[in-house]
Amino acid sequence: LANQRNPLNAERNDEPGSRARDTQTKTGCWEKLHQSVPQYMLPKELHSVYLEKANCFPPPIFIILISIAELAVFIYYAVWKPQKQWVTLDEGIWNSPLTYRPDHRQEAWRFVSYMFVHAGVEHIVGNLLMQLLVGIPLEMVHKGFEVGMVYMAGVIAGSLASSIFDPFSGLVGASGGVYALLGGYFMNAIVVRGCIQFCSIKLHFLSIVGGDFGFALYRRFVAHDNLQVSFVAHLGGIAAGMTIGFVFFSAYNQKLLKDFRFWVCIAGYIVFLFFAVVYNIFISPAP
């Protein structure tokens, strides 16, 4: 009788619990992204540690600021030299003091500053999309210093590799840094998940990377422009990511200075820098 007399009260008593269950079952897009990152980068036993460490304190400010800076420079050149700037490379960007040019390689800042200028709207949109989607989740755990180190290692490795293997071509875009993040992320994913399973899950994302890489090859070998833009920075960035990035991102719960792999990668990177500097000063066939 008590249950029959107070059906509404029973429903009211269950209402908070049902709301809590509904809240638990409903997962937003950000939560899904947040929970999916450790699945493709870390062993299962470290997933909970990742989810505990991933936070916005401090916020992922490096990736956000570098993206804003790259977008601001692109808009500046698009407005300053509007002829075809929104679509393809033009003389305005080629003559920029930021662009890496083989005939101006004595201006050492160009080996880094080229990341701020882009060849067109499809170029910058692709780079920003990839570095935000990958960089923000990484920076939520590894924070700005480590992500910034990997990113800049890819930028420098990309320009130096381009100066060695494609010495007569210029260079624009942040692909070196972007592909360093991707290289570190994918290397961890392959080691943790296995190549076949990883590739089947991430085929949609790899298609974006393949499209960007294909466009870089088209711009270098097919497009009949007077301005040749190298694609080698992509490869240099991937190499930096699969070595330095792999160490940084796989040892996220350890002290890097105590990791032997860290010192091996640092030593290898320094040797590469030294060789590239000597090559550009004494051996390079570029003017």
In this predicted model, what pLDDT tens digit does every residue of 175-194 receive, in sequence order? 999 999 988 887 776 665 55
Q: How far apart are CA 235 and CA 226, in angstroms?
A: 23
Q: Is 123 a catalytic residue?
A: no
| pTM summary value | 0.80
Assigned fold of 60-281: Rhomboid-like fold (1.20.1540)
- Residue ranges of the domains in the chain? 60-281
**Which candidate in 118, 123, 142, 234 is catalytic?**
234
pLDDT attached to residue 63: 95
Number of CB atoms found within 10 A of residue 208's CB: 13
CA–CA distance from 178 to each of 124, 234, 240 (Å)? 11, 8, 11
pLDDT attached to residue 196: 45
**Which candidate in 67, 113, 163, 175 is catalytic?**
175
pLDDT attached to residue 23: 43
- Chain centroid to Cα 169, Å, comes to 23
pLDDT attached to residue 75: 86
In this predicted model, what pLDDT tens digit does every residue of 44-69 receive, in sequence order? 666 676 677 677 778 889 999 999 99
Give me the residues of the chain with pLDDT under 50, please: 1-5, 7-25, 196-197, 200-201
Q: Is 234 a catalytic residue?
A: yes
- Look at residue 171 and give its three-state secondary structure: strand
